[in-house]
């Protein structure tokens, strides 16, 4: 049965949406990522306007990170104070990003910036992951321990120090605040939750205990993506509630299947697969930017 998406203004088969949600959910369950970086490009390939894809993915991420955040909250492994500081930055970043997207849309450059942003993002993350998982796989064979990560002393020289009890840290509020801003901008312009940036930054930059990292990042992603969804609805009228509903329904089922599937696979190979996938999506988007388009003209309704 075809359903009509009121905001994207297109007819799609509901099974296609469920399948897309489930596919991305499966991957996010397998790899423990939000999946926004896969869902947004997928929707764009499918013909959903870029700003609708970005805005609707934000609401999908609210649902998927909510499920994870609740599980973590029950285990009392969320540093609410840290999440709060990051949120202050995150909400500011989201406001900034949504306004930026509105301006880009008026200039007719929204599609370009979203695609280019993804190429850079996916290219960087994909290469880093590929490199890392390749080295881990080789190291596992030769069994040489990896060198310990370098300490970042400059973090401790910053002012505005705060005590984070759950994380057992006494650090400046500036790095988490800046991190929050970056994630807020990314979530509103690219429709990603930013977990792949927050998690490494929390571990290597802020040096938070690994046990609280996942819960804290999920909690802040829930609120940032929720804020982004509301702002996108208000400023850009770009959130498609029908699209979101079907993607979420597919996503929650897919995620559960993914978690179970991941338990049977080897972690290193899993990460290698994800890296290849990320790079493939990035390359496909890059191709779209450089290949001579079949139609040089683009038509949008309304005049700026």
Partner 1 sequence: MRRAFLVAIAVSLLREPASAEDLVSGLSQDQIQITSNYVGTDMVVFGAIESAEAIPTATARDVVVVVRGPDADFTVRRKVRVAGIWLNRDRVALYGMPGYYYVASTRPLAKLAAPDLLRQYQLGLAQVAPERESTRLAKKGEPFREAAIRIRARQKLYTEEPARVEFLSYSLFRVHVPIPASAPRGEYTVQVYLFRDGAIASAQSTPFFVDQIGLERRLYNFAHDRPLAYGLCTVVIAMLLGWGSSFLFRRPA
Binding interface with partner 1 (CB under 8 A):
1-4, 6-7, 9-11, 59-60, 62-68, 70-71, 108-109, 112, 116, 222, 226, 229-234, 237, 239, 241-242, 244-245, 248-249, 252-253, 255-256, 259, 289-293, 295-304
The torsion angles phi and psi of 11, rounded to 5 degrees, stand at -100, 130
Q: Looking at beta carbons only, is 57 or 133 nearer to partner 1?
A: 57
Q: Looking at beta carbons only, is 49 or 176 nearer to partner 1?
A: 49
Which two structure tokens, joined as six digits, stand for 73?
């909250």
CB of 185 to partner 1, least distance (A): 19
CB of 153 to partner 1, least distance (A): 39
CB of 20 to partner 1, least distance (A): 16
Q: Looking at beta carbons only, is 79 or 240 nearer to partner 1?
A: 240
Distances (CA, A) of 14 to 1, 4, 18: 6, 9, 6
Q: Looking at beta carbons only, is 171 or 192 nearer to partner 1?
A: 192
Contacts of 98 (CB under 8 A, 6+ apart): 188, 228, 231, 232, 235, 236
CB of 2 to partner 1, least distance (A): 5
Written in H, E and C, the secondary structure of 64-126 is HHHHHHHHHHHCCCCCHHHHHHHHHHHHHHHHHHHHHHHHHHHHCCHHHHHHHHHHHHHHHHH
Q: Looking at beta carbons only, is 7 or 101 nearer to partner 1?
A: 7
DSSP class of residue 302 equals: S
By CB neighbour count within 10 A (0-12 exposed, 13-18 middle, 19+ buried), where does 19 fall?
Answer: middle
The torsion angles phi and psi of 50, rounded to 5 degrees, stand at -55, -45
CB of 247 to partner 1, least distance (A): 10
CB of 141 to partner 1, least distance (A): 33
Q: Looking at beta carbons only, is 2 or 269 nearer to partner 1?
A: 2
């Amino acid at each position: 049965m075809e359903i009509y998406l009121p905001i994207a203004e297109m007819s799609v088969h509901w099974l296609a949406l469920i399948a897309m949600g489930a596919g991305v959910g499966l991957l996010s369950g397998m790899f423990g990522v939000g999946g926004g970086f896969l869902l947004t490009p997928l929707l764009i390939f499918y013909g959903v306007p870029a700003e609708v894809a970005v805005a609707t993915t934000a609401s999908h991420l609210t649902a998927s990170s909510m499920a994870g955040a609740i599980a973590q909250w029950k285990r009392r492994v969320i540093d609410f104070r840290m999440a709060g500081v990051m949120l202050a930055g995150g909400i500011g970043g989201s406001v900034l990003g949504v306004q930026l997207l509105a301006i880009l849309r008026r200039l007719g450059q929204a599609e370009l910036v979203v695609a280019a942003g993804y190429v850079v993002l996916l290219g960087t993350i994909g290469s880093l992951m590929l490199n890392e998982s390749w080295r881990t796989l080789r190291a596992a064979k030769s069994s040489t321990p990896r060198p310990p990560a370098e300490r970042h002393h400059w973090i401790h020289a910053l002012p505005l120090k705060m005590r984070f009890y759950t994380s057992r840290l006494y650090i400046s509020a500036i790095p988490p605040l800046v991190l929050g801003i970056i994630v807020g901008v990314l979530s509103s312009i690219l429709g990603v939750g930013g977990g792949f940036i927050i998690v490494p930054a929390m571990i290597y930059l802020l040096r938070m205990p690994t046990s609280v990292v996942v819960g804290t990042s999920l909690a802040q992603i829930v609120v940032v993506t929720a804020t982004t969804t509301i702002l996108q609805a208000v400023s850009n009228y770009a959130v498609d509630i029908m699209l979101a509903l079907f993607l979420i329904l597919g996503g929650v089922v897919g995620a559960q299947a993914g978690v179970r599937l991941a338990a049977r696979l080897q972690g290193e190979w899993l990460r290698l697969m994800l890296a290849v996938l990320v790079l493939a999506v990035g390359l496909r988007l890059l191709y779209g930017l450089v290949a001579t388009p079949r139609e040089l003209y683009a038509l949008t309704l309304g005049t700026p």
